[in-house]
Chains A and B, each alone.
Chain A
């Protein structure tokens, strides 16, 4: 590799890193404003206390775990619309493997993770080899899995749900690790919060501290330039698809253990919340810039709104409107930053 190319890449990264600060900071300020808003209209006195915190983090954690990896994929210039349904697929698959085939929970989890990696790999291979937009490719995956979830579950159980997962071998240890609660003060906190924090730290480290992180920015920023600079764009994208799929299956496992079963509709439609969380957190929809921690803040905003609205005794009907306004505001800011980033890169 020549020093000339290396210089260009380094300057790009440092520019991206600089730009990163702003959307992330914007999302954080947004979260602060929304938190303050719901704190001021709270009727329970619980919102900012332990009870409310346990509530909104419970909602935010599973969204955040997937959103940080969806953000990495989006920074890499691709979408994954199959993440939501993948949560359901993974939970159902783990449930069916344990209840219908009597497998140990840990064996089932290993098989589910392998399957998720395969789905991500297929998504990635199809996208990089056909040049089709990932929006379409993963939309197809979404429908394939959605149909399979229903058909396979009905075929094997005769109903639209899997139940009695708690009777399986290894359930208790797996439940303790992926789905237990811990009492802090007067409220139960979900262990998913710890996984959320770990996922955020890992994704942030990967994105900002490793060579692979630079590849992600480069692949999403300008594919041709990245390839010319020696970045393995295809491999990077395929790995990103595998990570987003794996993160979804991780959440699916958490849910099937917590709910001790799963119904076939779980996860459908949730993919948009992961994308919204990433977008609100400052990830550009066209790729090339964004942040993992921002996606986590985006997830937190959703959790805060979901708990804040009932606490305020507002009509829950407004929840969608609220998320829409947040999204539009965030994307307007991001587009403004995006045009600046684009101008500087070309």
Chain B
């Protein structure tokens, strides 16, 4: 990328890289900041009245994931506890049993902030249903099963970083740069998320997913 910058070719980074896009020579970054996404999730949990939130991290050394939990911790009026669920995606049924154990160990937990749609729909939701407790589930990113669970009222929200818009915007930004010498973004990243998918818009989003643009 630095080679491109040296050659005078304009670049934009997208998806992940909001911290480093400048050092890579890009004029802006199109994406979602993990801390910002976590903060918005924290507000959302406040609206729901959640006071004790479990935040399972399915890849222990992934800074992006710990940032999401940290962001939620900043804005939540309750407590947010990180829970190491390393390898969770490689063994979803074991992940479910571990989450169930963590929920049993602390009966005051009233919300789970899952950081992945498969973790939410395949590990957290079965554990919550098995215990029969009233626990709000929020997740990051979407899957068909997670959307259906939102539609059914089992999952409250999914954070959507709106990747389709990331690709679309990046091309538009570069196009304007090439044709009209614009350099948009003001040296800052441009956020495409967090968008929220919840009961209010889930049916519309399901339709758009089927159409291939979400």
Contact = CB atoms under 8 A, between A and B. Distances in A.
By secondary structure, the B interface counts as: helix
Nearest to B88: A265
A46 interface: yes
A269 B96 CA distance: 18
Interface stretch (A135-143, A170-178, A235-243, A303-311): A303-311
Interface stretch (B42-50, B99-107, B173-181, B186-194): B99-107
Contacts of A311: 101, 104-105
Contacts, number: 87
B92 A259 contact: yes
Tell me which of B84, B94, B102, B122 has the highest count of chain A C-beta atoms within 10 A of its own C-beta.
B94
A223 interface: no
B129 to A, nearest CB: 10
Contacts of A22: none
Interface stretch (A54-62, A101-109, A125-133): A54-62
A316 B83 contact: yes
Chain A: interface size category: 35 or more
B87 A59 contact: no
Contacts of B105: 43-44, 310-313
Contact of A310 (B87, B91, B102): B102
Interface in B82-127: 83-87, 89-94, 96-98, 100-102, 104-106, 118, 122
B143 interface: yes
Given A307-B98, A310-B102, A313-B106, A255 B93 contact: yes
Contact of B93 (A46, A62, A159, A164): A62
Interface string A34-56: 00000000011010000110011
Contacts of B91: 62, 266-267, 270
Given A164-B144, A307-B97, 8 more contacts: A56-B97, A84-B90, A161-B143, A261-B145, A310-B105, A311-B104, A319-B84, A319-B86
Closest 8 CB pairs of A and B: A316-B84, A310-B101, A310-B102, A59-B94, A58-B97, A163-B144, A307-B101, A265-B89
15 contacts: A43-B105, A44-B104, A55-B97, A56-B97, A59-B98, A62-B93, A159-B143, A164-B144, A259-B93, A267-B90, A268-B90, A269-B90, A270-B87, A310-B102, A317-B84
